[in-house]
Amino acid sequence: MTARFDHLVIGAADLDQGADWARATLGSALPVGGAHPLMRTHNLLARLPAGYLEIISIDPAAPPRGRARWYGLDAPTTRAAIAERPRPIAWVLAVDDIDASASRAAWDVGEILTASRGDLTWRISVPADGSVVEGVLPALIEWPESLGRRAPTDRMADLGLALRSLRLDTPDPARIHDALASLDAEAAMATAGVSLSVAQAAEAKLEAMFTSPSVRMSL
């Protein structure tokens, strides 16, 4: 029941803002991924050495669906933050059996939903209010057996980006450490070459450090 790093989510006010930010900050133009009808969002994607980077925003062309979007995108605090600039808002661990992993996790991961983008379909955990649990805990995703239970990163552009570290700022580090340990998240991130740390802070947030062929930056 080993978890694996799947992807890091960067929230943006819209995809144009996200694309401009990626060019200016990461030195790369991220290709368009597609739309998520269930959540009325769309994204830009790039492969990492393990997993991938997703820049996501609300899709203004999508009709209302009557439920909160994932990754806290409907929360006023998140919307205000990403209006200022794109920033990390969530991260996702891949598991082979999401129902078993949800039972094993030392936190309520939320509902297990089936989502899609184009010809891809997967199962993912999303709290009913769309929030990121405790502001920093990962969502869980299960890719179909036909994809080897792994994200189809071979479809994504390799721009030489690498996620080097992910820090979880939280008012309750002991609680977050215990939650992560329930799914061996630190080992999963270490296998992906990402240093995962938890830090005491007044407010919950994510901080990521990337390298690219031309720059090294913290987000």
Q: Quote the CA–CA distance of 138 and 180 in Å, as a whole number.
A: 9
Q: Is the pLDDT of residue 144 over 70?
A: yes
- On the question of pLDDT at 77 being above 80, the answer is yes
- DSSP-derived pairing of the beta strands 195-200 and 162-170: parallel
What is the reported pTM?
0.96
Q: Which of 44-58, 61-75, 83-97, 112-126 has the lowest mean pLDDT?
A: 61-75
C-alpha closest to that of 40 among 116, 112, 91? 116
Residue 137: predicted pLDDT: 98
Q: Would you say 158 and 47 are in contact if contact means Cβ atoms under 8 Å apart?
A: yes
- Which residues, 6 or more positions from 80, have their beta carbon under 8 angstroms from its beta carbon? none
Instruction: Report all structural domains of the chain as residue ranges with CATH numbers, in order of start.
Output: 4-151+159-218 (3.10.180.10)
Q: Mean of the pLDDT values across residues 203-217?
A: 86
pLDDT single digits (tens) 148-178:
999 999 999 999 999 999 999 999 999 999 9
Report the pLDDT averaged over residues 102-130: 97
Task: Concatenate the DSSP letters of all residues of 128-156 into one string.
Answer: TT-PPGGGTPPEEEE--GGGTTS--GGGS
